[in-house]
Structure 1
Amino acid sequence: METNETLLDLECIDCGETVDAETAAARCPECGGILDPVYDYDAIDLDRETLASRPRDSMWRYEELLPFARERAVTTNEGATPLVDCGGLAAELGVERVLFKDEGRNPTGSIRDREAAVAVTAAAEAGVDDVALPAAGDAGQAVTAYAGRADLEAHVYLPSRASHTTKSMVNVHGGEMTVVGGRFPDAAGAYEEALAEHDGWEPLSAFDTPYRHEGAKTILFELLEDLEWTTPDAVVVPAGDGVALAGLYKAGTELLELGLIDEIPPLYAAQAEGCAPIVEAFDVDAEAHEPIDHPDTICGEIEIPDPAGGALVLEALRATDGGAVATDDDAILEAGIAVAKGEGLEMAPSAAAAASGTWELGERGTFDGDETVVVLNTGAGNKESDVLRSHLMGKGI
């Protein structure tokens, strides 16, 4: 595996064990913990002027802080998504600015394209032929798309409740799809059984590869650069498996290390009340979450009852003086519809948890009135437009 020259090794976040970065690795060989890429920050000469001189064409403009050089990347120019100013929503919320980081503009319509680009590049560099993962939806579509581009076979395990659009596009991209009755844990169980039977499959499930959160972290690079390196007062993120929030927090620590920012913006996790393990743990000041026994929310993308990155997310929220918030399904769907109607931005239901959560934070008195609030739209509304439309029909609209 040929890695970027700035990448030193992979380090276990639990026991500190290091693994050669040029060795294909999923979890820590000593304790099974999550592996995290570590860079030689002293060797990285990156300043604001250098970044400003580069074309804003994809997330690979930050290649010094990614595991692989741009020239070796499996990419469809993911990233470089817009930060959209929403004045009407700011006035309604009573703050200075509300900005939406619109990840729905990525090639397959979600944040997962950033994750897939780095993870599939790692698999291709490792010389494997097959990649596999369980997914609530979007990650399966994204990995299948990038695997096809890299001429790899993708094996995706989806719960039956995954959207029709996602299932269709996994097929269209040439993936081998297994639809499992039930919810995400059922799909994950079937995936684990299949993985045990296929030694050659490279696992790309959340945090079973060290590289998905590396793609997600580029979101914070972009939004801070778009804000001319002014730190927003809150970044609200839908939280399922925890990849996005773990990536954003890591990005903040790296920008601090390089002297590009003075502080990491407060990070907030938004979940649905029917499946809110991170919110529940945060509220009682626990270091780790308790799995949800009976998850129940229409927001399938974030209905992850036992998130692999739960502890990382809790650390990120507390270290940045952020927080966690949960709202019910009706409020989430209403928020998605309000954003579409008022600002023309389309959010998938699970993504709309961030909008609903932002409004709940406002009602709790979190904001004073002069804040800049960033809402992360993790997926395009047309992935589950039927859910939003059904909500309207239920109201007689």
Structure 2
Amino acid sequence: MAWKSPAIDGKTADWDGEELRRLFDQRLAERGTVWASGVWRYKELIAPELPMESLVTRGEGNTGLYPLEAAARYAGVRRIWMKAQSENPSGSFKDNGMAAAVSHGLSIGRRVFACSSTGNTSASLAMYAAWCGGTAYVFAPARHVAAAKLLQTAAFGGKLVRFEGTYDDGITFLERHAEELGLYVCNSVNPYRIEGQKSIVFEIAQNLGWQMPDWIVVPGGALSNVSALGKGLEELLACGLIDRIPRIALVQAEGASPFHRMVERGDERLVPEPKPYTRASALNIGNPPSWPKALHALQVTKGVTVAVCDGEIMEAKDVRS
């Protein structure tokens, strides 16, 4: 499936930073309108070309930014904030991108949506498809998938297709057959997913009075999030909304870390992990589709990567605020 690039690409220099800052700050007071969305508040920088009548929202975004003193002590740094994306309607950051992807699908007359998923994407897509009266087909591996997320998907009316294989096999199937099956794909190969997820870093900037932290640390599975953060930071700087770009630290699970290995070795191309495994099921992706964009994000932000074992993930997970 081919997508036309979002209209924002290459046009950020046309915007006046002070004007955008006033507009975005004004929209913070909105309640019960599309502008109350933590995605569509920034429509001018996400999808200015989409007609208002196609915009779908479940009140996504507007997630808390919390100081974590215990986590800062654990990490040995002065201060840490957590952007609590679990406060999104379906429980993950996927809602920021899915609002934009489904809205674009509606704008071109599509009502049947699809994704390959290890959990979070499936729940998010099923929720938005149900909200707009559409249908969601979710291709989910038969193993190593978060059962609670699949129950959530089913509760929203998503049609589950279980298969032997990995998330990557599901992506390959959709790339080959979505068009003939009439499916609008909402994985991160869809550029509107990346555009919507930029709103996460837009919110961080606005929450901090447009003064950025030194680092942004983000987990990496399919790598859509780090790709979106990098692109969003570039655009904030180009618009004059921020005066510097923070560095990004991308964290992968050792059992599913082909991108980290590529960066560490200085390779030019990613070598997929054919049998990824980690207890962090959302990271259990061996051939992340967004790796070229993620690499660009690291280059722009002078970022770094690291891989951690499941034991380290579980230990850090036990650290409270």
Aligned residues of 2:97 and 2:192 also touching (Cα < 8 A): yes
SS in structure 2 of the partner of residue 65 of structure 1: helix
Displacement of 1:194: 5.1
Q: How far apart, CA to CA, are the structure 2 residues paired with 1:180 and 1:223?
A: 38
SS in structure 2 of the partner of residue 274 of structure 1: helix
2:266 paired with 1:285: yes
Aligned residues of 1:157 and 1:190 also touching (Cα < 8 A): no
- Aligned positions, number: 308
Partner residue in 1 for 2:76: 94
Aligned residues of 1:158 and 1:179 also touching (Cα < 8 A): yes
Aligned residues of 1:240 and 1:303 also touching (Cα < 8 A): yes
Segments of 5+ residues of structure 1 without an aligned counterpart are 1-24, 29-34, 344-397
Letter matched to residue 72 of structure 2: A
Displacement of 1:69: 5.4
Partner residue in 2 for 1:122: 104
Q: How far apart, CA to CA, are the structure 1 residues paired with 2:150 and 2:99?
A: 20
Pick the structure with more helix per residue: 2
Higher-Rg structure is 1
Of 1, 7, 12, the residue aligned with 1:41 is: 12
Displacement of 1:187: 3.4
2:313 paired with 1:337: no
Displacement of 1:305: 0.8
Displacement of 1:185: 2.8
Which has the larger displacement, 36-45 or 96-105? 36-45
SS in structure 2 of the partner of residue 74 of structure 1: coil
Aligned ranges 1:145-156 → 2 under 5 Å: 145-156=127-138
Aligned residues of 1:39 and 1:65 also touching (Cα < 8 A): no
TM-score scaled by structure 2?
Answer: 0.89
Q: How far apart, CA to CA, are the structure 2 residues paired with 1:53 and 1:191?
A: 41
Aligned residues of 1:180 and 1:190 also touching (Cα < 8 A): no
Segments of 5+ residues of structure 2 without an aligned counterpart are 30-35
Provide the identity percentage: 31
Q: How far apart, CA to CA, are the structure 1 residues paired with 2:121 and 2:180?
A: 22
SS in structure 2 of the partner of residue 127 of structure 1: coil
2:53 paired with 1:53: no
Partner residue in 2 for 1:139: 121
Root-mean-square deviation (Å): 2.0
Letter matched to residue 167 of structure 2: F
Partner residue in 1 for 2:32: none
Q: Residues 95-134 of structure 1: CA distance to partner in whole angstroms, max 9, x if unpaired? A: 2211101100000000001111000001111112311111
2:219 paired with 1:238: yes
SS in structure 1 of the partner of residue 102 of structure 2: helix
Displacement of 1:259: 0.7
Displacement of 1:275: 1.0
SS in structure 1 of the partner of residue 292 of structure 2: helix
Partner residue in 2 for 1:266: 247
CA change 1:266–1:194 in 2 (3 A) is: same
Aligned ranges 1:71-82 → 2 under 5 Å: 72-82=54-64
Letter matched to residue 150 of structure 2: K
TM-score scaled by structure 1?
Answer: 0.73
Aligned residues of 1:268 and 1:323 also touching (Cα < 8 A): yes
